Amino acid sequence: MAWRNGSPLLSELENVSRECLLEYTQTAYDPVNHTVTLSLRFTNTSKQALLGPVKLRATALQSVLGRPLALQTENGVEGSGAVWNLSSLIANGRLEPGAMSSIGKLTFKIEDFRPLMGERGRNGSIVEFNSKLYARKDATTTEKN
C-alpha cells in the first residue's frame, strides 16, 4: 500500500521542508562505539504557524565510514525512510512564523566501519542524509506585519 508522504506516520501531515530552515549545529563522533550524533534545529520561515506533530523523514542516508543506521526512530527503520518525532523541540506544539525550535539530536551507528587512514581518494561526510520535514500548518494565523 502506498502512503501519502511515504509513511503512515506522515500521512496526515504536510511537507513543510520549503517553509523551514533545517540547521545542523554540531556533530559528535564516538570512535569507540562508532556512533555519530547530529544536533539540529529548525526555523519556521513561512507566514503560518506550524503545529505538531513535527516529524523528520530520511530520504537517503550514507557515510564515508561505513553503513549508517539511524537509531531511536519512531518507525524502527534504520535507513532511508527512518522517521524521527521532533515535536518535543517546539513549545506548546506550535512554532510561530520566524521562530526557531530548540535543539534536538539524531544518533547513527556506523556498521561495517572502514577507517579513513591511508585512503586519500575516499571523500564524503561522516553522516550525510537527505530529509523532509513534516508538520501541520495553522491556516488561521499568518505573520503580523
pLDDT at 126: 85
Containing structural domain, residue 32: 21-137
8 assigned to some structural domain: no
* 90 — pLDDT class (breaks 50, 70, 90): very high
* 120 — pLDDT class (breaks 50, 70, 90): low
Query: Which sign, positive or negative, has the C-alpha torsion 50, 54, 60, 64?
Result: positive
145 assigned to some structural domain: no
Share of the chain above pLDDT 90, in %: 74
Residue 1: pLDDT above 80? no
* 102 — pLDDT class (breaks 50, 70, 90): very high
Q: How many domains does the structure of the chain reveal?
A: 1
3 assigned to some structural domain: no
74 assigned to some structural domain: yes
Q: Supply the CATH number for residue 42's domain.
A: 2.60.40
89 assigned to some structural domain: yes
pLDDT at 78: 96
pLDDT at 32: 94
Listing DSSP states for 23-91 in one string gives EEEEEEEETTTTEEEEEEEEEE-SSS-EEEEEEEEEEEEEBTTBEEEEES-SS---STT-EEE-GGGSG
pLDDT at 114: 86
127 assigned to some structural domain: yes
77 assigned to some structural domain: yes
d(CA 106, CA 33): 15
pLDDT at 145: 43
2 assigned to some structural domain: no
